Structures are given as C-alpha cells and as structure tokens.
Chains A and B, each alone.
Chain A
C-alpha cells in the first residue's frame, strides 16, 4: 500500500512529527511504500539542519534525514510556508536575496502541488498535526 504523509507541526513543540515518524518507520518496516512526506505550516521547521537539541534528546531533523536516506524518502517542504517562516535553501536564498540557508539536504523545497499530487496518487493520506 502507498502512503502519503502530511506533517503540520514543528519539532519538539508538538508530538505530531514524532507520531508521523514512528508511523512512517513502521509502515516502511511492514513493506509499505511511503511516496512522500510533506511538511506544511510550522512543520517546515522539521527541515532545519541547524537544529541543536540537548544531547540526551532525540534529534528529530537528523532522524527524518536518516530514515529518508535508508528508504529513499521524498521529503518535501512547502515553499510558501517555508518562505513565511524563514526556512531557506540555495535557490530560495538566491531568489529572495538571503545571506544564509538552513535546510537539511535530505529535504527539498517545492510547491503545494506536491501535496495534492501525493494525495491523488497514494492509497492513503495520513495527516499529523495539532
């Protein structure tokens, strides 16, 4: 079965991204396909590579990145939500004249169409939020 995952909340503030992570990991372990993980609203903060949690806590960003690498996950950060919140990749920095980037390379910034497309093509859309 093909799942699409939508995450509406940022890391540490809300459990949504933890639940989404464990659901995604479990689905993959059971042999399902996760066609896309889409980060929306404050969920875009899950992609900040400069995130620095205390050493004894889970590293939510790296954890997503490792899962993505192991399973070739397509992790997409919504461009409109990211721009509002200052989540930036090289392309966005250049287009908007920003002096820094902060997105982890495991994620890519793209449009909302990616969420709709994932919902059209997947068997299930799973939404995790506040």
Chain B
C-alpha cells in the first residue's frame, strides 16, 4: 500500500512539508507542486531535510510550477524527478491513494 503525498505549500510559510515528511513511510512518493516546489531547490534551509527523506522516499516536483516561478530545473536537488501533469496523473495511478498536505 503506497501513498502519493502532495505538498503545495512553501516550506518557509507553512509546515506542510514537515508534516508530510514526518507522516510518510518508506517507499512512498512525494510530489511538490504549486508553492511546494520551493522545497525542491538547492541551497535552502530545508534542503537537508528533503535529501534525508530521499534516502527512503521518492521525491518529484511539478515542472510547470517550477518554470512559472522563475526557478531553474538546473538548481533542483539532485535526484528529484521533474514531472509534468501527465506524470502527476501517472503517479496518482501507480500509488494506491493520495494524501494532500494542504
């Protein structure tokens, strides 16, 4: 039973990312979208938390939201996979339920 967790909040404004990381289990998938994509960038003070999570969880970020915000996919934490909406749909299908950390 695997969950796709979605995080749509900036980690600098809300605790959604932290709540997600502490309530997700090994082998799950985490998709960063909307303002959640800020957590995917290198050099932030949540980078180490995200990297720690990536040891046991797969992290994705939504490409259109990265581009919209003027962020560069070159500056994304290594190992985070950028997906488009079709990829988002695929993740929702391949995991058996979705938890939205609103």
Does A touch B (CB under 8 Å) in the complex? yes
Measured CB to CB, the residues of A under 8 A from B are 1, 3, 8, 15-16, 19, 22-23, 25-27, 29-30, 32, 124-130
When the two chains form their complex, are residues B93 and A26 in contact, meaning their CB atoms are under 8 A apart? no
How far, in whole Å, are A23 and B64 apart by their CA atoms in the complex? Answer: 12
B67 within 8 A of A: no
The verdict on A1 contacting B102 (CB below 8 Å), with A23-B85, A25-B85 known, is no
> Are B102 and A130 in contact (CB-based, < 8 A)?
yes
Q: List 12 A-B contacts (CB under 8 A).
A: A19-B8, A23-B88, A23-B89, A26-B85, A26-B88, A27-B89, A30-B89, A32-B89, A125-B98, A126-B92, A127-B100, A130-B102
Question: What B residues does A26 contact at CB under 8 A?
Answer: 84-86, 88-89
Known: A3-B92, A19-B8, A22-B64. A127 touches B86 (CB 8 A): no
Residues of B in contact with A (beta carbons under 8 Å apart): 8, 33-35, 64, 84-86, 88-90, 92-93, 97-98, 100, 102
Q: Which residues of B contact A124 (CB under 8 A)?
A: 92-93, 97-98
Within the complex, what minimum Cβ distance (angstroms) separates A4 from chain B? 11
Q: Which chain B residue shows the least CB distance to A9?
A: B102
The smallest beta-carbon distance between A124 and chain B, in angstroms, is 5
Contacting pair A19 B89 (CB below 8 A): no
Complex alpha-carbon distance, A19 and B6, angstroms: 12
- A22, B86: Cα distance in complex, Å: 9
Query: When the two chains form their complex, are residues B102 and A8 in contact, meaning their CB atoms are under 8 A apart?
Result: yes
List chain A residues, Cβ under 8 A from B88.
23, 26
Check if B102 sits within 8 Å of A129, measured CB to CB. yes
Interface hub of B8, B85, B86, B102 (most chain A Cβ within 10 A): B85
B101 to chain A, nearest CB (A): 10
Which of B85, B89, B97, B102 is the most central at the interface, judged by chain A CB atoms within 10 Å of its CB? Answer: B89
B32 vs chain A, min Cβ distance (A): 12
A19 and B34 contact, Cβ closer than 8 Å, known pairs A3-B92, A25-B85, A32-B89: yes
